Amino acid sequence: MYFKISNTAKMKEIERDLNALFKYPNLYSPQVVINGLNEVSIPVVTMADSNTISLAIWGLLPSSFHEDWELFQKLTNTLTIPSYNLETDIWYHDSFTSRRCIIPVTGFFTSVLRKGGIYPYHVNNKRGEILYLAGIYTVLEDGFITCSLLTGPLENEVVKFQNLVDYMPIVINHDDKQEWLSTETRIDRVIDILKPPHTTELNVEPIAKNLFNLDISYDSMLMPFEYPEN
């Protein structure tokens, strides 16, 4: 469900907000829509280096995996991972305990099934600030980073705009960033950080469904759109 995010922030804006610098500044560019079903890289701040903004391939892979990203995603989509799975003895459990990350975005998308049609919405920070999405990551043997968004229960602002699934990307409060990325944070506190409600206020706006469904991307598609039939 959640395989598209938006990051229209300029590089310097992200660096100021996260108090960190891009490791490869020439490789970052703002994007209205980032489609995770393609092999794409997105900015992350990791536990290993909280002063640096790295680029990670979206779609978690096991550290020892040698085959193609596309093959693994066809077998088990890891663009998102439910937070309730993290306490089980599964292959990415170690990432939850020692390889957590922040994924900065300016928005993500949700949808409602209504009157026989799908209506998309853009979710962003009500104050216009960058959203911190909770993530986990791995480092492959060749040094590349891969990551996944963590999902959890719906925040109050999103409930009436999402009826296809009952989960959404987990938003980390800005005040919790340091604890989320710290190796000294106890796991019970990490779990608590993930739980809603969060203090980050979300704004949910309808966008034109034809533009979204055509899988194209340009600035005007994020403009609020009112459907006359609703």
Cα-to-chain-centroid distance, residue 117: 25
Q: Give the Cα separation of 227 and 224 in Å (integer).
A: 10
Provide the pLDDT confidence category of residue 215 given band limits of 50, 70 and 90: low
Residue 154 has pLDDT above 80, yes or no: yes
Which tokens belong to 169?
A: 């990307």
Q: Give the Cα separation of 133 and 140 in Å (integer).
A: 22
Residue 230 has pLDDT above 60, yes or no: no
Q: In this predicted structure, what is the pLDDT of residue 21?
A: 98
Q: Quote the DSSP letter at residue 27.
A: G
Q: In this predicted structure, what is the pLDDT of residue 212?
A: 66
Q: Give the Cα separation of 107 and 65 in Å (integer).
A: 30
Q: Say what percent of the chain tops pLDDT 90.
A: 80
CB 102 within 8 A of CB 171: no
| Mean pLDDT within 157-175 | 94
The tally of CA atoms less than 13 A away on the side-chain side of residue 102 is 32
Residue 104 has pLDDT above 90, yes or no: yes
Mean pLDDT for all residues in the chain? 92
User: pLDDT by residue (tens digit) across 30-87?
Assistant: 999 999 999 999 999 999 999 999 999 999 999 999 999 999 999 999 999 999 888 7
Cβ partners under 8 Å of residue 75, min gap 6: none
Q: In this predicted structure, what is the pLDDT of residue 89?
A: 76
Q: Quote the DSSP letter at residue 141.
A: T
- CATH level 3 topology of 4-222: hypothetical protein yedk fold (3.90.1680)
Query: How many Cβ atoms sit within 10 Å of the Cβ of residue 62?
Result: 14
Q: Give the Cα separation of 35 and 105 in Å (integer).
A: 13
Q: In this predicted structure, what is the pLDDT of residue 221?
A: 78
List the helix and strand counts (H, then E) for the chain: 6, 14
Q: If we measure between CA atoms, which residue out of 190, 109, 107, 100 comes closest to residue 147?
A: 100
Residue 218 has pLDDT above 80, yes or no: no
Domain spans of the chain?
4-222
Q: In this predicted structure, what is the pLDDT of residue 148?
A: 98
